[in-house]
Structure 1
Amino acid sequence: MNSVTINLKSIAFISLLTMSGLSYATQDCEKPNNSQQVFECSKVASTIANHVLNKAYKDLISRIREQYLPAPKLGDEYIEKIKKSQRTWITLRDSDCEIEVFIIEPGTQAYETTKNHCAARLTDARRSFLDSTSQH
């Protein structure tokens, strides 16, 4: 990854935090001092990961539509497979995170923090996959 990409991602991350009313987290999440900050940061990480994933998904659909202009039916078939895959992946992600938090008491801050971190981690991996799908 080059520095321009990293800087653009940093700008987008900070912009999203500010737009979401979560700007306090940019400083606190770098070095959280207590469990409440860790919990709040886990929510921020999950929210941002979902936002970035949604953008990657929309970008992928746009790339496919553009690439398959000469064969729109084939493009539509490809998009339907991606939509099905995405729905299946969401179920898998949620199930995997349930496994990760299984031994933690539901409803506790530790449970929610762990689940948020799991979702953010898996969502970021999925975003990478979508970003690499159907590249020129």
Structure 2
Amino acid sequence: MKAMAWMVLLAAVSGAHAAEEESTPCDNVETDQQTYACAAFSKQAAERELQAAYDDLIQRVRDQYADQGSQVSALVGQLDAAQKLWAQLRDADCKVETFAEKKGSKAFQAAWDTCVAQRSDDRSEYLQSIGQQ
């Protein structure tokens, strides 16, 4: 029952990632092993997207404030600090979410990967919205 709940959750989380690529480990998830592979894939894809969103934001800041060097430096410093704090909050939230799973187990890793993927997707959307005109 627990594995089935994870598969449903993973299918919802990974749907956007699967649409972007032709074939992923999240296609036709039917077994626990496939669930674990999908969770790992989703986390990696979400972290890549998060890094791209962050890099794009830094570039937007540099472009928008190109003639104001000190403001760029200050804002980039604030963004770096915010990103580090966000990562700490994400990890703390995911520790709470995965508390019921035995650390070191495949179920724990799948739950952790799913949590990180969800939080990273949310953060990517937020970063993409900053500085848009």
**Same fold by TM-score greater than 0.5:** yes
Aligned match for 2:75, one of 70, 73, 78: 78
Any unmatched runs of 5+ in structure 1? 1-8, 16-22
Say whether residues 1:109 and 2:116 are aligned partners.
no
Q: SS state of the match for residue 69, structure 1?
A: coil
Distance in 2 separating the partners of 1:10 and 1:63: 28
Under a length normalisation based on structure 2, what TM-score does the superposition of the two structures give? 0.82
TM-aligned CA deviation for residue 135 of structure 1: 1.0
Distance in 1 separating the partners of 2:46 and 2:18: 13
| Cα deviations by residue, 1:75-119 (Å, 9 ceiling, x for unpaired) | 111111000000111111111101001111111111110110000
User: Runs of 4 or more off by more than 3 Å in structure 1?
Assistant: none
Tell me the C-alpha RMSD between the 2 structures. 1.7
Aligned to 2:116: 119
Aligned match for 1:32, one of 7, 29, 32: 29
TM-aligned CA deviation for residue 70 of structure 1: 1.9
Corresponding residue pairs, total: 117
Any unmatched runs of 5+ in structure 2? 1-16
Question: Contact (CA 8 Å) 2:18, 2:27: kept in 1 or not?
Answer: no
State, as a whole percentage, how many aligned pairs show the same letter.
30
Distance in 1 separating the partners of 2:95 and 2:85: 15
Aligned match for 1:88, one of 74, 85, 90: 85
